[in-house]
Amino acid sequence: MNRLELKTPLQLQSTLDQLHDGMARRLAAAPPGLCPVETALNYLILSRSQSCGKCVPCRVGLNTLAELLEQLLDGEGNADTVRLLEETATVIADTSDCAIGQEAANALLLSLKGFREDYLEHAATGHCLVGKKEPIPCRANCPADVDIPGYIALVRAGRPADAIRLIRKDNPFPVACAYICEHPCEGHCRRKMVDDAVNIRAIKRYAVDAAGDVPQPACAPATDKKIAVIGGGPCGLTAAYFLTLMGHKVTVFEQRKQLGGMMRYGIPSYRFPREVLDAEIASILSLGIEAKTNVAVGKDDLSLTNLRKQFDAVFLCIGAHTDKKLRIEGEDSKGVISAVKLLRGIGDGEHPDFTGKRVVVVGGGNVAMDCTRSAVRLGAEKVICAYRRRIEDMTALPEEVQGAIAEGAEVMQLTAPLKIEADDQGNVVAFWAKPQIIGEVGKDGRPAPKDADADPIRIPCDIVLVAIGQGIDSKDFENEGVPCGRGGWIKSDDATEIPGMPGVFAGGDVATGPATVIKAIAAGKVAAANIDKFLGFHHEIVKDIPMPDPTFADLQAHGRVNPAERPADERKHDFVCMEHAYTKQEAAEECGRCLRCDCFGFGSFKGGRKERW
Amino acid sequence: MVSFTLNGKAVQAAQGTTILEAAKAAGVEIPHLCYLKDVNEIGACRLCVVEIEGVQRLAPACETLVTEGMVVRTESPRVLAARKVNLQLILSKHRTSCTTCIRNKNCVLQDLSSQFNLLDIPYDVKPEKNAKDLRCPIVRDASKCVQCMRCVQVCDKIQQVHIWDAVGNGSRSVVDTANRKAVVDTDCTFCGQCVTHCPTGALTARDDTDRVLKALANPQLTTVIQVAPAIRAAWCEAFGLDAKTATVGKMVSALKALGFNYVFDTNFSADLTIMEEGSELLARLKDAKNYSWPMFTSCCPGWVRYAKNTYPEFVGNLSTAKSPQQMFGAVAKTYFTEKVGVDAKNLFVVSVMPCSAKKAESELPTMQGANGDPDVDAVLTTREFCRLLKFLNVDPTKLEEAAFDSPLGTGTGAAVIFGATGGVMEAALRSAYYLVTGKNPDADAFAKDRPTADKPWQEGTVEIPGFGKLHTAVASGLGNTRALLDSIKNGTTKVDFVEIMACPGGCAGGGGQPIHEGKEMAATRANTLWELDANSTLRFSHENADVLALYKEFLESPLSEKSHHLLHTDHKGW
């Protein structure tokens, strides 16, 4: 017998690892609308298999919980079953010897808390409350309900122009979304069960490039109804687009010099080239939308009260364009610039010269990354992004963070702003930070930073860019009776209607807080439908594109094709688009990965296509 | 065209054809269970799987399209083994009780098990639990359901009433009504299209044969049976005969063989319906301002129920005339009992209907006589009628021709066609023309506007001298009905008189008719009915001598007070 032996991974373990990996992807791709009770049971069964069997609560208790859940699912339970589940799980969480039992019980307690009504429904009727089966995960997760499998099939069939038409049925911004959509559609992509989500955004980017200029459809006969859209961002322009297609006369009021909202004044051109944005906006306006730029709405002639007199309906979608302050010493120093201000200037082509400057960017979201990468491109000698949590806690997309680092920026994690040091003339000379240590997970599920036992650090710099979020300026509307909540959010409902103000609608960032372009587009679409209804119409937006037949194929695992980027060393010197579109070959490979959930699985039963809305 | 190889043979098929249909055209039947052409092509049962060269997995033939150069094998060892396992899995959730199953010998699942030489099931058999609810004509036995989803699709796509749905999650996913309500509490019209498209005994029309046998055995009762027009075109199918062999006369013999005291014809009351409904139409037209238009026929109880549930705004437009079944019952328990000197209490009226909704119609509170008894005591479907014949060992090939009894046994050709979509309309027009002009039109004058299956509804225009133009529309199937009603509602379709039948093809395709897997028989049966009409000596309802005698002796005239009391109903009374 050897005294010690090297641990060599068993073949068995490697197979198990493979299975675990597959199950993790499967969980990530779980379709929406699952029964929470059955899901809880399956998690318990999985957890139970991990028990070492030593301590009672874990060995016996987890199994007992599973049996109680089975009773509920089989319609043999009652309210006492739910109570017993809760009591038992609480004790297992309290008394199990290790995390295997504790966390299994905690998961059930979380489920019991979050889905209490479902458990009680099972207890009372033996059935589930949720029953809505979403056939198509990507479409279900797209706020604008874009027909994703449909347009991927069209791209694959060599019909990119039809793909654009199909997207426009739900979203007038196929180009914008091709460049900068956060693609929530990919989150639960069923392809993850095989390998990885389909690169939906990249396919759309290929489609818009390959399609070129696709003419807009004709508008419905004029209704003589006039609608004022306040705000020319993605939300407002989407509402204007669909309302104009429906035959209404729309006037868009935009406070800034140009239309586009955060697509222009928030997103730098290296991510979304201006000429492409301009072309897409021009295409939308070509329907006959009147746009008034450099017009601030809210006072005097353009007060909401007056607009309501002049127009049959008003849609408020002014976005979230004010900056948030750090509230630390030295914030008023020269050289402290808000992200909103920097990016707004860049949006209008005003590029400040950062040559030779040392820049500190404060924040960890996508806007912070936009500032970081813009600062690099503006010639900064050194750019540091200071973030108070860890890199993995950043809300920015990981590829944005990696891109920034590749372009030479440095990310200093666990660095909380303390003060800004200025010289006698009030110019920034340094950014002071308090080193942090990551701590316990808070109620929001994110680990909170706390002060580390370390001295403050001084980062010498010339410019501080503050990118810690945007606010909403809705005061003028609030003064005229529009209900506003915390942070200036306008309180509109799920139909974008404002209770008590018939004919006034609100949507987009102003109603949700700063969010994504696709959410803004979705709000514009919802507003258009409900404004049309308010005006007494039921204009339908209809798809009239024949769809390619699906082909039956094997589920051979295949890597996700990512579009190439320009080399970091080259792209960091300019604001030219940094991402390449797919080649024809790449597009074909990636389109081939789509499982066509519209035609297989539940889709072939309940229909994978919404022909009209 | 696409060229492909099927079991080693070169075959061609049109682009866009599924492997299953292409193989069928080439003479190769691929086994299937859930598949229903154009309605349910969802690849649920996975029994139609085939091997495609170059594809690792087995492909469902019902939803995979043939492509150029495809090489398909439909009976390879791997395919056979896979089909067997999938069928065994299906059977592990099915309560196999063939001997006492209503679908014994007419069951896709039974046929497939036999075809696959399935001698055992290696799995625990755990069918869904079930409690049969006999409160309405549509009865579901969940333990027999194979979740093929045909009922869901037929109700969604053809009828568009959306009663059935796949509910629950994961392995506990089952078919049930959309909100798990009892069928009787839903908007179900009881049309029975889900029943005639169910491959197993999961969905059935309630069996009322025992009640009828009990009545026949009761010496206190005088038993009367009426038989609907559409039965004569379909009963033959249960015995593998055609309508030419199994004549109306033999059907009458068969009914007599069951032991009824009187065998009558619903055609009699169909002619009566025309007299009432035709007169009502003309009366409404004369007083057009006081009625909402168009007027709708009311003889289909599925349609009446649908109108009440789904288009209540049109209920006032329904003709107040009862259906032929109910007019028959009302007349039988008054006029007929008086004539033969039987107490109405002791008359048991049975009807044979191609329909499941008729069962519910007969139970409506508005369909009772003065003594509180229902006018029609029991309703049998065509299938129940045929089952009784088999039980009583009646061999239709050995029957003599017989005639209906008098006085409720006479019917014209105009009544026979009630069983086909468009028939009520045509019969009504023939008599309306006469009632206005005093002259008969050519009996085939309105044949040009008979509906065809390729259109959701058929419109027609009839010129009646001295009256003007009458615009008509005919629809069958509730999906088509919805389209027509919406078109009327939004003003696109402007018509005066509309015939609606809930089942596609009318009663010929009724939910109580014999079931044939994968075959729609409505058109064939309708042709039989139209032929019977063409060969009739009497083709006008107003020439039915027994109906005229009924008016003379009892009712006085159409729309008289007595007619109103017995032959008309209040659709808002339930």
Tokens, residue B292: 């909402």
Q: Which of residues 127-156 of A touch B (CB under 8 A)?
A: 127-128, 130-131, 133
Cβ pair B57:A35 closer than 8 A = no
Last residue of a domain, one of B174, B205, B236: B205
| Closest residue of chain A to B180, computed from CA coordinates | A127
C-alpha A156: how far from chain center: 26
Tokens, residue A429: 């000379």
Write b or e for each residue in A435-445: b if 16 or more Cβ atoms lie within 10 A of its Cβ, otherwise e.
bbebeeeeeee
Residue B355 lies in a domain: yes
A538 touches chain B (CB under 8 A): no
Shared domain for B267 and B408, answered yes or no, is: yes
Separation of alpha carbons A415 and A398, rounded Å: 19
Q: Do domains A137-215+547-606 and A323-470 have the same CATH topology?
A: no
pLDDT value for A444: 87
Pairing between β-strand B59-60 and β-strand A504-506 as defined by DSSP bridges: unpaired
Burial of B53 (0-12, 13-18, 19+ CB in 10 A): exposed
Domain definitions of chain A by residue range: 34-125, 137-215+547-606, 226-321+472-534, 323-470
Pairing between β-strand A463-466 and β-strand A358-362 as defined by DSSP bridges: parallel
Separation of alpha carbons A300 and A421, rounded Å: 43
A604 touches chain B (CB under 8 A): yes
Three-state secondary structure of B181-217: CCHHHCCCCCCCHHHHCCCCCCEEECCCHHHHHHHHH
Give B58→chain A minimum CA distance, Å.
9
- Say yes or no to pLDDT of B454 above 90: no
Place of tokens 């046994």: B409
Last residue of a domain, one of B153, B179, B205: B205
Give B526→chain A minimum CA distance, Å.
32
B166 touches chain A (CB under 8 A): yes
The model's confidence at residue A512, banded by pLDDT at 50, 70 and 90, is very high
Shared domain for B136 and B163, answered yes or no, is: yes
Are the C-beta atoms of residues A610 and A134 closer than 8 Å to each other?
Answer: no
Q: Which of residues 227-266 of A touch B (CB under 8 A)?
A: none
pLDDT value for A2: 85
- Say yes or no to pLDDT of A131 above 70: no
Structure ipTM: 0.84
Cβ pair A552:B16 closer than 8 A = no
Cβ pair B168:A35 closer than 8 A = yes
Cβ pair B44:A605 closer than 8 A = yes
What element of type H or E holds B267? helix B266-286
Shared domain for B320 and B429, answered yes or no, is: yes
Residues of B in contact with A554 (CB under 8 A): 55-57
Give A217→chain B minimum CA distance, Å.
25
pLDDT digits (tens, 9 = 90+) for B221-235: 999 999 999 999 999
Query: Which of the 8 DSSP states describes residue A49?
Result: T
- Cα torsion through A155, A160, A165, A166, rounded to 10: 0
Backbone angles phi, psi at B132, to 5 degrees: -70, 135
Residue B211 lies in a domain: no
- Say yes or no to pLDDT of A9 above 90: no
Cβ pair A125:B180 closer than 8 A = yes
B55 touches chain A (CB under 8 A): yes
Shared domain for B400 and B507, answered yes or no, is: yes
| Closest residue of chain A to B154, computed from CA coordinates | A605
What is the pLDDT averaged over residues B172-181? Answer: 89
Which among A33, A73, A554 is the nearest to B57, CB-wise? A554
Give me the CATH number covering residue B79.
Answer: 3.10.20.740
DSSP secondary structure string for all residues of B4-62: EEETTEEEEE-TT-BHHHHHHHTT-PPP-SS-BTTTB----S--SEEEETT-SS-EETT
pLDDT over 70 for what percent of chain A?
Answer: 99
Which among A131, A554, A605 is the nearest to B168, CB-wise? A131
Shared domain for B383 and B255, answered yes or no, is: yes
pLDDT digits (tens, 9 = 90+) for A195-226: 999 999 999 999 999 999 999 999 999 999 99
Cβ pair B170:A38 closer than 8 A = yes
Separation of alpha carbons A345 and A375, rounded Å: 13
B42 touches chain A (CB under 8 A): yes
Are the C-beta atoms of residues A208 and A181 closer than 8 Å to each other?
Answer: no
pLDDT digits (tens, 9 = 90+) for B386-409: 999 999 999 999 999 999 999 999
- Say yes or no to pLDDT of B284 above 80: yes
Separation of alpha carbons A449 and B306, rounded Å: 64
pLDDT value for A602: 87
| Region for residue A130 given its phi and psi (left: phi exceeds 0; alpha: psi -120 to 50; beta: otherwise) | beta
| Closest residue of chain B to A130, computed from CA coordinates | B168
Residues of B in contact with A553 (CB under 8 A): 55
Cβ pair B172:A600 closer than 8 A = no
pLDDT value for A132: 63
- Domain limits at B65? 2-91
Residue type at A565?
Answer: E
How many separate domains does chain B show? 3
3-state secondary structure of A55: coil
**Nearest of B297, B275, B282 to residue B466 by alpha carbon:** B282
**Nearest of A270, A265, A465, A464 to residue A377 by alpha carbon:** A270
Residue type at A177?
Answer: C
Separation of alpha carbons A114 and A94, rounded Å: 20
What is the pLDDT averaged over residues A35-52? Answer: 93
- Say yes or no to pLDDT of A8 above 80: no
Which among A34, A551, A552 is the nearest to B169, CB-wise? A34
| Closest residue of chain A to B181, computed from CA coordinates | A125
Shared domain for B351 and B437, answered yes or no, is: yes
Residue type at A280?
Answer: E
Cβ pair B52:A552 closer than 8 A = yes
Separation of alpha carbons B395 and A536, rounded Å: 65
- Say yes or no to pLDDT of A10 above 80: no
Cβ pair B63:A604 closer than 8 A = yes
Cβ pair B169:A604 closer than 8 A = no
B63 touches chain A (CB under 8 A): yes
Cα separation values, A431 from A343, A368, A462, Å: 21, 16, 9
Shared domain for B151 and B267, answered yes or no, is: no
What is the pLDDT averaged over residues A10-26? Answer: 88
CATH topology of domain A323-470: FAD/NAD(P)-binding domain (3.50.50)
Q: Is the dihedral of CA B56, B62, B65, B70 positive or negative?
A: positive
Shared domain for B133 and B269, answered yes or no, is: no
DSSP secondary structure string for all residues of A151-165: HHHHHHTT-HHHHHH
Cβ pair A130:B169 closer than 8 A = yes
pLDDT digits (tens, 9 = 90+) for B508-528: 999 999 999 999 999 999 999
Cβ pair B169:A554 closer than 8 A = no
pLDDT value for A607: 78
| Closest residue of chain A to B171, computed from CA coordinates | A38
Cβ pair B43:A34 closer than 8 A = no
| Closest residue of chain A to B150, computed from CA coordinates | A605
Residue type at A213?
Answer: D
3-state secondary structure of B322: coil
Pairing between β-strand A410-412 and β-strand A415-422 as defined by DSSP bridges: unpaired
Shared domain for B343 and B260, answered yes or no, is: yes
Cβ pair A600:B64 closer than 8 A = no
pTM, two decimal places: 0.90
Residue B69 lies in a domain: yes
The model's confidence at residue A11, banded by pLDDT at 50, 70 and 90, is confident
For the domain covering A137-215+547-606, report its CATH number: 1.10.1060
Shared domain for B191 and B226, answered yes or no, is: no
Shared domain for B405 and B504, answered yes or no, is: yes
Backbone angles phi, psi at A595, to 5 degrees: -85, 0
Tokens, residue B149: 């989803």
What is the pLDDT averaged over residues B111-126? Answer: 94
pLDDT value for A209: 95
Burial of A459 (0-12, 13-18, 19+ CB in 10 A): middle
Give me the CATH number covering residue B389.
Answer: 3.40.50.1780
Cβ pair B180:A34 closer than 8 A = no
pLDDT digits (tens, 9 = 90+) for B234-267: 999 999 999 899 999 999 999 999 999 999 999 9
pLDDT digits (tens, 9 = 90+) for A549-592: 888 888 889 999 999 999 999 999 999 999 999 999 999 999 99
Residue B109 lies in a domain: no
CATH topology of domain A34-125: de novo design (two linked rop proteins) (1.20.1440)
Residues of B in contact with A540 (CB under 8 A): none
Residues of A in contact with B41 (CB under 8 A): 604
pLDDT digits (tens, 9 = 90+) for A365-398: 999 999 999 999 999 999 999 999 999 999 999 9
Place of tokens 């976005």: A319
Residue B96 lies in a domain: no
Architecture of domain A226-321+472-534: 3-Layer(bba) Sandwich (3.50)
Cβ pair A549:B166 closer than 8 A = no
Burial of A213 (0-12, 13-18, 19+ CB in 10 A): exposed
Shared domain for B278 and B422, answered yes or no, is: yes
Residues of B in contact with A33 (CB under 8 A): 169
* Cβ-based contacts under 8 A for chains A and B: 50
Residue B98 lies in a domain: no
What is the pLDDT averaged over residues A118-139? Answer: 84
